[in-house]
Amino acid sequence: MTTMLIKEAQAIVGGLSNPAKMPGKSTSLPPQMCNVGAKLRNVAGSVCEGCYAYKGNYSRFKNVGTALTRRLESLNHPDWIPAMVTLIERLPEPYFRWHDAGDLQSIAHLERIVAVCNATPHIKHWIPTHEYGIVRQYRAQGGVIPANLVIRESAVMVDGPPPVKNKLPTSTVVTDGSATCPAPTQGGECGPCRDCWDPTVQNVAYSKH
């Protein structure tokens, strides 16, 4: 793996994002480029209707939008994998979320993420995704999900069932008080909870907000 300076790595991948509510860092992509999510945004009652990544700081500040685009453009950089490894392996908290905005773009994208996970075995990685097809095709061609990566497939509809076809951990969005995510009672933060990164937690139910 190529050795590089943090400054060089940041220049290649566009830096990491820093979601205030959770431990560790993340990376984000333009929500407009979600293959499935961009369509679900126009479906009434879907979990992507009113997507947060189209609001708040994501849309208020031009530099945030510029950063998302830069990260998208960096995905095919020949040194993207070692650059991400350089940044992630130095995190003070051993937790990383892929895509606080945006989603998987292709099988090749997932393969590159897996390479980063394999190179950072001490970090717990989590991908929330609606791209069931990409995940299914990746596994069908022999792709392996590393032990330190949780791919958590997201339900399509609010109060809808979790996706089960790929037999992976899932997440749902609920309005009936059955949420298991404690963030709303902890100032909107994860606090000590790490369920999203835990492969033994089959489903995480988020309260709609």
Distance separating alpha carbons of residues 26 and 98, to the nearest angstrom:
5
Q: Rg of the chain over CA atoms, in angstroms?
A: 16
pLDDT in tens, 115-164: 999 999 999 999 999 999 999 999 999 999 999 999 999 999 999 999 99
pLDDT in tens, 155-186: 999 999 999 999 999 999 999 999 999 999 99
pLDDT exceeds 60 at position 28: yes
CA count, 13 A, side-chain hemisphere, 179: 15
Is residue 78 very low, low, confident or very high in pLDDT (cuts 50, 70, 90)? very high
DSSP state of 188: T
Buried b (16+ CB within 10 A) or exposed e, 158-197: beeebbeeeebbbbbbbeeeebebebeeeeebbeebebbb
pLDDT of amino acid 68? 85
* pTM for the structure as a whole: 0.92
pLDDT of amino acid 69? 87
